[in-house]
Chain A
Amino acid sequence: MPYPLKRLLAFPLVMFGVSVFVFIAIRLVPGDAITAMLGTESGLLTPAQREALTAYFGLDQNIFVQFWRWLAGVVQGDFGISTTYGQPVLRVIFDHFPLTLELAVLSMLLSLVIGLPAGIYAATHKDRPGDLAVRVIAMLGQSTPGFVVGLLLIFSLSVFFGVLPRMGSFVPFRQDPVGNLAQMILPALTLGTAFAAAVIRVSRSAMLDILSEDYVRTARSKGLSRRRVIWRHALPNALIPLVTLSGVEFGYLLGGAVLVEQIFALPGLGRVVLDAIQQRDYALVQGTILFIAFNFMVVNLLVDLAYAALDPRIRFETK
């Protein structure tokens, strides 16, 4: 069976596995949703009120019925109702996802804009001081966790420039694009550091591999300029591994925003998940994690397919 087809067929199976896993996992968390939702006020509930609430959220059914109802709903786009927000889960997700998506896209763009030229520069100046500097910076970037970068950025801004990034209130892009970007640039840099380092390393080594290929030497010996050979002959081929890297990393950026959103107090999906777990908001945890896992898998699938299209060697390999 060709590899892409195999991946497509496995997709629903794995998604089902993910939903079972999430469903069971959140029910293993100690504590019940009604108490978590109402806090101390839950002590004021009469047994009848408590029962009514439990029935309203469908928590009185046995676990198989609950799972079946939930899954049947999910397939129809109904993820249930969040106990903390008192809104449909999908609504909560779509309210908070744009921010996380913007964060991921911005940090990806920043990483590529910084990483790709740096990687090409290092490859074309191999073993010279510039190359060494780029490699040291990449290694440090790879070794410093994103949230530490974030803390150090906030620290340097406040100490050297006396400003603090705007926190607490979030400006949506549609209302104020400039204010929004100004607010998002630090979080995006924070989230993108590790990825930028990876871009530098991958583009450098891909470029080095290709620059030693025969066809590049042929192009040079035909009298083409060095610049033209690098940009027209070598670069397009060096981009192939970068496509894979970007795809895989994009999935991580979407899910990995939890810490960055926490540091910069941004109301994104990562914060929603973190709060939902603490509040035992079953439906919300299930919905958001399934949503994130779904995105992650779709992106990975697309990357695999794109990779197979770009590199015929992969197409027929059945792993």
Chain B
Amino acid sequence: MSLLRDLLRHPSGRIGLIITVLFLLAAVAGKAGLSPFDPLAQDRLARLQAPSASHLFGTDMFGRDVLSRLMVGVAQSFIVSFFSVAVATLAGTVLGLTAAWYGGLWDGIVMRLMDVLLAFPAILLALLIIAIMGPSGWTSILAIAIVYTPIFTRVVRGPALSLKRRDFVDAARSFGSSRRYIMSRHLALNLVAPLTVQITLALAWALITEAGLSFLGLGTQPPQASLGLMLADARNLMEMAPWLLLVPAVALSFAVLGFNLLGDALRDLLDPKTRRALA
């Protein structure tokens, strides 16, 4: 809770937190069916209507309410980002911790494998995985998770290596604590700070990647809504119906901005060096 208070006191942390919470509320409301209209309901008489009192962000080419689609679209983007980052964090933490702890051959295998994955530009690796598994929301989650696992593995392995040699780990070992206990208690808990920062930034990248994949038609499939799909739909209609482009574009940028600001603030707060400077 003290971290939350610090975040609220930090200028970019406060703005980031407000933006993220607003988007989360919109997403939850969208998922809970609280959007003003059914996001999938078509209304042929109300096609391409400009924003008005009844349709706050206008309607699209099928007469669907843009605000409602935005709410479920944001929810979809957030779900894909959260799950993919969660999987990447878990996989990266386990791989990084065990690589640091056991060292030797296992360390070599894991880290070379991560090098192989890191040799691909992110979007290309995601494309390849999606080509194998067929496009869907779940494939996007897996693809983005695989893309970001090496980053988390590296983020965990470095500090874990130096922690391993610290006295309190030796002490725990001499008490007879099991390896699993030491890894999950002493090492993992000390990695929370660097991981928190990385997770927030990864959420921002995951949002961008998910939107890009959906934009290419390789992520969320129509008629479901996602920010990338809404942008793809807007491509040919942007002159006639600019709101179709501007609404999802602004929403996507602000969602990413929220995570980026949070990440910056967390880095300031959790890094002992800058923390002292702030105090």
Contacts and interface: CB of A to CB of B under 8 A. Distances in A.
B116 A143 contact: no
A44 to B, nearest CB: 27
B238 interface: yes
B6 to A, nearest CB: 20
Interface in B67-118: 112-113, 115-116
Interface stretch (A46-54, A118-126, A253-261): A253-261
Nearest to B113: A17
Nearest to B120: A293
B238 A296 contact: no
Nearest to A162: B239
Contacts of A29: 131-132
A255 B123 contact: yes
Interface in A278-319: 278, 285, 289, 292-293, 296-297, 319
A204 B192 CA distance: 28
Contacts of A66: none
Interface centre among B115, B204, B239 (most CB of A within 10 A): B115
Contact of B128 (A158, A277, A278): A277
What is the interface of chain B mostly: helix, strand, loop, or mixed?
A: helix
B124 A255 contact: yes
Given A17-B112, A151-B249, A256-B121, A277 B127 contact: yes
A218 interface: no
Interface in A213-256: 251-252, 254-256
B119 A296 contact: yes
B78 to A, nearest CB: 15
Interface residues on B, range: 35 or more
Given A17-B115, A17-B116, A151-B245, A145 B252 contact: yes
A144 B235 CA distance: 17
B231 interface: yes
B124 A273 contact: yes
A75 interface: no
B134 interface: yes
A82 B129 CA distance: 21
Interface string A1-43: 0000000001001110110011001101110000000000000
B257 interface: yes
Contacts of B216: 258-259, 262, 274
A147 interface: yes
B127 A18 contact: no
B211 interface: yes
Nearest to A25: B128
B224 to A, nearest CB: 20
Contacts of A143: 204, 253-254, 256-257, 260
B121 to A, nearest CB: 3
A110 interface: no
Interface in A67-121: none
B119 A258 contact: no
Contact of A292 (B121, B231, B257): B121
B145 interface: no
A145 B208 contact: yes
Nearest to A141: B253
Contacts of B131: 25-26, 29, 277-278
A145 B219 CA distance: 16
Contact of A158 (B121, B158, B212, B238): B238
A15 B119 CA distance: 8
A18 B121 contact: no
Contacts of B257: 139-140, 143
Contacts of A259: 123, 212, 215-216
B261 interface: yes
A313 to B, nearest CB: 16
B222 interface: no
Given A139-B257, A277-B131, A254 B245 contact: no
30 contacts: A10-B112, A13-B112, A14-B112, A17-B112, A17-B113, A17-B115, A18-B116, A18-B119, A22-B128, A139-B257, A143-B204, A143-B254, A144-B249, A144-B252, A145-B211, A148-B253, A151-B249, A158-B238, A159-B239, A252-B122, A254-B121, A255-B121, A255-B122, A256-B122, A258-B127, A273-B124, A293-B119, A296-B119, A296-B121, A319-B158
Given A139-B261, A259-B123, 11 more contacts: A13-B112, A14-B116, A22-B128, A144-B256, A145-B212, A155-B238, A155-B242, A259-B212, A277-B127, A285-B128, A292-B120
Interface of A: 10, 13-15, 17-18, 21-22, 25-26, 28-30, 139-140, 142-145, 147-148, 151-152, 154-155, 158-159, 251-252, 254-256, 258-259, 262, 273-274, 277-278, 285, 289, 292-293, 296-297, 319
| Top 10 closest pairs, chain A to chain B, by CB | A255-B121, A17-B116, A143-B257, A143-B256, A277-B131, A144-B253, A145-B208, A28-B132, A293-B119, A14-B115
